[in-house]
A = this chain, B = another copy of it.
Amino acid sequence: MTEVEWLEIVETFLDEKHEVINTKNEDTAIIKFKDEFVLLTTDAIVEEVHFSFNYFSFYELGWKLGASNLSDIAACGGEPLWALLNVGSPKAFSEKEINEFFTGLKDVLFKFNAKLVGGDTVYSPINFFSLSVIGKTKNPISRKGASPGELVFVSKKLGESAAFLRLIKKLPKDEIPENIRKAHLLPEPEVILGKTLSEKRIASAMMDVSDGLLIDLYRLCKASKVGVIIYEEKIPIGEGVTLDEALSGGEDFALLFTVPKEKVETLKSVEEELKKEVHLIGEIIKDEGIFLKTKEKTCSICPKGFDHFEFK
């Protein structure tokens, strides 16, 4: 069974009615609560599956766990509020290790005014960490809102995180270029940009690139019942990164969002205000499918993505 098949069964059990407006096909549940929306997300990471202590420091691990969850809140245009941590471990970590882990986690949470408020710790034969983050927004953005004619943007250069996993096999950590090392170990969640795109009502659909640009673009299009043409030459490829890593690498934690043409000027003013560049990569079309336009031709492509149950 693939992850997609598993999720199809699981989703029949999710409650999406009354105040729960958006759970299916999303990383974050969006729930109406009084005059706002509550956002709920959770992520688990497992040693030697999602990370290795061979190259992660405890500080970096804490940071990355926080960042990946904050990225899911950012993808809905939300403001993160509180986090809950679960730790499973075969042994108690040393005081130094615990301090480093929590400093990393708190640094990234605190950067965006989120608070660590609780958690649980259990014995487990392997190390795993799971974090749940609660956020809020007045204007939640889901994957569903894209319409033909709208433009498609990503918020940062892609593929650096995947390039790290290629390079660490042959280079010592400190010989890997800083942009690539930071992208994998200390990624920056796009909380400020996501919140601004929500407040100024610029993005019509949004998600974060966590499993690879193409697979995530495919998900956004499927949820919105549209297709997309992307321009190969406009894909923002990180320095030292292959095209394949940029298209299918994963763990970029970039925002992927669609913007109606009449709002592109407002988006430009946001870029200036936040001193932050975003990258136009394509356009939403009516016909379903993902089409890659190169100088020579336009071809339909089948996304190659990360399936959590298939990679072992």
Residues of A that sit less than 8 Å from B by CB: 1-3, 5-7, 9-10, 13-16, 20, 23, 26-29, 31, 34, 38, 40-46, 48-50, 82, 84-86, 88, 90-95, 98-99, 102-103, 105-106, 115-126, 128, 130, 132, 134, 308-309, 311-312
Contact = CB atoms under 8 A, between A and B. Distances in A.
A6 B116 CA distance: 16
A38 B212 CA distance: 35
A5 B2 CA distance: 41
Given A92-B309, A121-B6, A34 B34 contact: yes
Contacts of A15: 115-117
A99 B12 CA distance: 9
Given A20-B82, A40-B84, A49 B122 contact: yes
Given A82-B20, A117-B15, A130 B41 contact: no
A311 B53 CA distance: 25
Contacts of A105: 13
A122 B46 contact: yes
B40 A312 contact: no
Identical subunits present = 2
Most buried by B among A46, A115, A126: A115
A201 to B, nearest CB: 24
A34 B102 CA distance: 29
Given A41-B84, A98-B6, A98-B10, A124 B128 contact: yes
Contacts of A16: 117
A94 B122 CA distance: 27
B34 A117 contact: no
A239 to B, nearest CB: 30
B106 A31 contact: no
B13 A116 contact: yes
Contacts of A43: 86, 120
Given A27-B118, A130-B130, 16 more contacts: A1-B92, A1-B93, A3-B121, A5-B92, A6-B92, A9-B95, A14-B117, A27-B120, A41-B84, A42-B86, A44-B120, A46-B122, A46-B125, A48-B125, A86-B86, A124-B126
